[in-house]
Amino acid sequence: MEFVFGLVVSALGVGYRFLYKKIKQQDAVKDGMQALLRAQIIEDYHHYMEKGYLPIYAHENVSGLFTPYTDLGGNGAIQKLIDSLYDLPTEPPKEEKQPKK
């Protein structure tokens, strides 16, 4: 009986270590994905703030980045960047538009 109990405890210990390792790996993947999404949002922020407008397709793209970013637990300063982007016009300023030939 003690032998069986020892086997069960050992099996539980091995299972716990395996599960703990998998959870740590999953957390690392989540954190890495969140960091990549954050970096892309920041890059888009700088790009479109410099341009002075956010085209509709870019708005959809930024929204598509921000939704999973928040689903993964991110927010903070990125929300302010997103709000600033959404405040931009969707068309370029008049002086940037090129006349059609």
- Summarised one tens digit per residue, pLDDT across range 42-92 is 999 999 999 999 999 999 999 999 999 999 988 888 999 999 999 999 999
Token readout for 48 is 């479109």
Range of the domain at 52: 2-91
Q: How many domains does the chain have?
A: 1
24 assigned to some structural domain: yes
Look up residue 56 and give its two tokens: 């509709």
Quick check: 30 pLDDT over 80? Answer: yes
- Asked whether residue 96 carries a pLDDT value surpassing 60, the answer given is no
**96 in any annotated domain:** no
Does residue 101 have a pLDDT over 90?
A: no
Q: Are 88 and 49 in contact (CB under 8 A)?
A: yes
pLDDT at 48: 97
Question: Is 21 within a domain?
Answer: yes
| 28 within domain boundaries | yes
Domain membership flag for residue 99: no
Cα(17)–Cα(20) distance, integer angstroms? 5
Residue 98: pLDDT band with limits 50, 70, 90: low
Report the alpha-carbon distance of residue 101 to residue 89 in Å, rounded: 25
- In the predicted structure, residue 7 carries a pLDDT above the cut 90: no
Is residue 7 domain-resident?
yes
Strand (E) or helix (H) holding 23: helix 2-51
Q: Judge whether 10 lies within some domain.
A: yes
Residue 101 lies in a domain: no
